[in-house]
Structure 1
Amino acid sequence: MSEGTERQETIRQGYKDRLVIVTGGAGAIGSTLTAALADEGAEVIVVDDLSSAYRWCLPQRTNVRFVEGSVVNDDVLAEVFREKPSYVFHLAALFANQNSVDNPERDLEVNGLGTLRVLQHAERSRVDRVVFCSSGCAAYGSDPPRPVPEDYVSLDVHTPYQATKLMGELYCNYFTGHKKLSTVRARLFNSYGPGEVPGSYRNVIPNFIYWAMRGEPLPITGTGEETRSFTYVGDIVDGLLRSGVVPAASGEAFNLASSRETRIIDLAQNINEMVGSRAGVRVVGRRSWDTQRRRQASTEKAARVLGFEARTNLHDGLAANVAWFRANWARIVSDARF
């Protein structure tokens, strides 16, 4: 059996008939992950307070159970961990940079205390592994090398969100080193795809699609020459599934990302063209915390250890995202918050 085939078999068998907790499981990544776990035969408990997600995004499966509540609530965590899960995917967070600037204490409570409590319950319940969703914007500071490897970490943070995501990684290191809890730190880069409802604190792609479909010009915060490693949600989920069960991943950090840089101006033009908008773009002021002009991840380690590869090109990923918007337009218009 080849190494790649062996990895695939590990993933297929790793979740079958196992109990898995997904915190933040009603969000775009969480709901896609939940569906993938259910497809693999896992029993999934989703914990989400619906503060930035929607129940209608969750897959309706007999092996998926939803518990509404916050990871800050110790009683909620005690309830679900009492069932002795095998794996925990911790995605719940106050998302993201601007939200944390506006609400720094809430950011600390959810991203700091919430993460600590999840790890505490996981350690007491003797779970096989916790996969913590961190962020490439948090770990690598303002001016990282390109492509940035996992062993480059910077304390040059500019938002509370970046600080608390780094805190979460440090807590994972502590629980792995001193409590012998297996953890993996997944550093996500600019995830996009079906499931993310647009809003003032959401990512650029769902917001661009929303505004383009309404015939509004797309706001460029900067020059448009800024770049990001946009990564399709399905590829992110594939990396998370691998992070949960590949033995060599324990205690490690991985960039789950596309290795390709995309200019924001090109992204805007592609989306306008795809939805048929002629409104163009408009330039607005750069946000004070937005100091990373270019962002590109190294995926060499994730490829070597996990067998991870971001296979979805930007055009195909955007097309799938636009199709999801069109299929759910009435709900999206009702729930979008700006």
Structure 2
Amino acid sequence: MSELSFKNSKVLVVGGAGFVGSNLCRALLAHELKELLIVDNLLSSDLSNVPADPEVRFIYGSIADDRVLASLPSDIDFVFHLACYHGNQSSIADPIADHENNTLTSLKLFEHLKSYAGLKKVVYAAAGCAVAEKTFDDAVATPEDAPISMFHDSPYSISKLIGEFYGNYYFTRHGLPFVKARFQNVYGPREILGAGRWRGTQHTVWRNVTPTFIWKSLQKEALPLDNGGNASRDFIFVEDMARGLMRCALAGTPGSVYNLASGAETTIRDLAEMINELTGNDTPLDLRPARDWDRSGKRFGSTDKSKRELGFSAKVSIREGLAKTIEWTLANRESIERCMRQHDYFMAHMR
């Protein structure tokens, strides 16, 4: 059977105004689509990320909303489900909101899609952190078949696994062509600090480590290193992630799971020092104790299966990717500041 193609396809991206989703949408638009549908409630994203293109139809709302589901055409070819409640800290602060935006969304979407006879692939954004071993000893690459613990650090991690479980159920029971793409730590342009609505914690503004470090470093501030920056992660540039997601849709086997990873382990301290070097920030690092909830330690993903079955490997080195992200941040400083400022009242009144 010949490989699938996006040409003349209708594609749905749930969470398409978000960081990864918006980069994926721009990559998809190069493939002569018939239509690109974007569903996003802008809870943790910004409308400026939606591509201005005649092939794009933007639907404002949650994919868990019956009205939104009813508005979807029945002849969709590909679905990318990237919506989530961002992220670990927000889910700890409000587990119910995490359930509504990170678990119920998956269940209702898969239930709706089970009757779509023409679907070619449904790609789900799973979380590599949910299966990685919790260790501060030397890490080994986490394979796709790693054992899954019943104990987790956050509702976010639990919700991401539940999404896999539901997708597996709809694959086995209803034949939903479901593929799991396990994310590592994605970074890059269009991750806007403060995008979306207030979600109860300072992490509405201060998101993942890379954009936070870049912004603070550009302001010549000290970069905060929890546990002295001893933890390590697998950082993958967002353009590589977009390519990996498309490879999951075109070449992934339904029912299978694939790591989308660089395969390289980088400590948070090394990340901070590299960012400071690239921005010219000579302010000393702020060494802090470990966060009380975080046992995630050191981790990186195995790339063997995705290389073998998808023909995917990351191309952008972390230094090159950080340089591109810093350049984008400088060029978009005003829009980032706008998103950050909208939360000034809540930040000022936090206890």
Q: Under TM normalisation by the shorter chain, which class is it?
A: over 0.9
Note the C-alpha offset of 1:255: 0.6
1:224 aligns with 229
Contact 1:249 1:306 in 2 (8 A): no
Kindly indicate whether residue 114 of structure 2 is the aligned counterpart of residue 123 of structure 1. yes
Alignment of 1:1-338 (within 5 A): 10=3, 14-42=5-33, 43-80=35-72, 82-126=73-117, 127-143=119-135, 146-155=140-149, 156-199=151-194, 200-201=203-204, 202-246=207-251, 248-336=252-340
Note the C-alpha offset of 1:280: 2.7
* 3-state DSSP of counterpart to 1:125: coil
* 3-state DSSP of counterpart to 2:80: strand
Q: Give the letter aligned to residue 77 of structure 1.
A: L
Note the C-alpha offset of 1:51: 0.9
Note the C-alpha offset of 1:249: 2.0
- Distance in 1 separating the partners of 2:263 and 2:222: 28
User: How many aligned residue pairs are there?
Assistant: 327
Note the C-alpha offset of 1:18: 0.4
- Distance in 1 separating the partners of 2:270 and 2:240: 22
Contact 2:133 2:142 in 1 (8 A): no
Contact 1:97 1:161 in 2 (8 A): yes
2:199 aligns with none
Contact 2:134 2:298 in 1 (8 A): no
1:276-297 CA distance string (max 9 Å, x none) = 2222310223222221211111
> What is the TM-score when the length of structure 1 is the normalising length?
0.93
Contact 2:132 2:299 in 1 (8 A): no
* 3-state DSSP of counterpart to 1:124: coil
- Distance in 2 separating the partners of 1:99 and 1:280: 28
- With 164-173 and 191-200 compared, the bigger mean Cα shift is at 191-200
Contact 2:133 2:299 in 1 (8 A): no
> What is the TM-score when the length of structure 2 is the normalising length?
0.90
Could you list the structure 1 runs, at least 4 aligned residues long, displaced by more than 3 angstroms after superposition: none
Contact 1:122 1:130 in 2 (8 A): no
- Distance in 2 separating the partners of 1:88 and 1:299: 24
Structure 1 unaligned segments of length 5 or more: list them: 1-5
- Distance in 1 separating the partners of 2:5 and 2:135: 38
Note the C-alpha offset of 1:84: 2.1
RMSD: 1.7
1:3 aligns with none
* 3-state DSSP of counterpart to 2:71: helix
Q: Give the letter aligned to residue 129 of structure 1.
A: K
Q: Give the letter aligned to residue 258 of structure 1.
A: S
- Distance in 1 separating the partners of 2:86 and 2:133: 18
Structure 2 unaligned segments of length 5 or more: list them: 195-202
Note the C-alpha offset of 1:141: 4.7
Note the C-alpha offset of 1:83: 4.2
1:240-288 CA distance string (max 9 Å, x none) = 0010121x52110011011000111111111111112222310223222
* 3-state DSSP of counterpart to 1:14: coil
Q: Give the letter aligned to residue 185 of structure 1.
A: K
- Distance in 1 separating the partners of 2:323 and 2:310: 27
- Distance in 2 separating the partners of 1:292 and 1:86: 37
Change (3 A) 1:153 1:41: farther
- Distance in 2 separating the partners of 1:310 and 1:128: 25
1:150-186 CA distance string (max 9 Å, x none) = 0013223111011110000000110111111110000
- Distance in 2 separating the partners of 1:314 and 1:212: 17
Change (3 A) 1:166 1:141: farther
- With 160-169 and 282-291 compared, the bigger mean Cα shift is at 282-291
